[in-house]
Amino acid sequence: MSSHSGLRRRLVLGGSATLLSAPLAAAQRALTPSQMLGPFYPVTPPLHQDNDLTRVEGRSGRALGQIADLSGRVLDLDSRPLAGLRVEIWQCDANGRYRHPRDRGDVEEDPNFQGFGHTVTDAEGRYRFRTIRPVPYPGRTPHIHAAVIQEGTRPFVTQIYVAGEPLNLRDGLFTRVPEALRPLLLADFVPADDPVATLAAEFDFVLAPVLAGLFEANTA
Binding site for Fe ion (CB under 5 A): 38
Considering Cα of 203, then 207, then 209, then 210, what sign does the dihedral take? positive
Q: Which is nearer to Fe ion, 73 or 137 (CB)?
A: 137
Q: Which of 127, 162, 173, 167 is nearest to 147 (CA)?
A: 127
Q: Which is nearer to Fe ion, 150 or 174 (CB)?
A: 174
Q: Which of 77, 81, 82 is nearest to 30 (CA)?
A: 77
How many residues belong to the chain? 220
Least distance to Fe ion, CB of residue 144, Å? 8
Do 97 and 113 meet the contact criterion of CB atoms below 8 Å apart?
Answer: no
Q: Which is nearer to Fe ion, 38 or 42 (CB)?
A: 38
Q: Which is nearer to Fe ion, 173 or 210 (CB)?
A: 173
Least distance to Fe ion, CB of residue 42, Å? 12
Q: State the CB neighbour count (10 A cutoff) for residue 174.
A: 20
CB closest to Fe ion, residue no: 38
Q: Which is nearer to Fe ion, 38 or 209 (CB)?
A: 38
Strands 205-207 and 67-76: parallel
Least distance to Fe ion, CB of residue 13, Å? 50
Task: Mark out the alpha helices in the chain (DSSP H runs).
Answer: 2-28, 209-219
d(CA 201, CA 128): 10
Least distance to Fe ion, CB of residue 177, Å? 15
Least distance to Fe ion, CB of residue 97, Å? 11
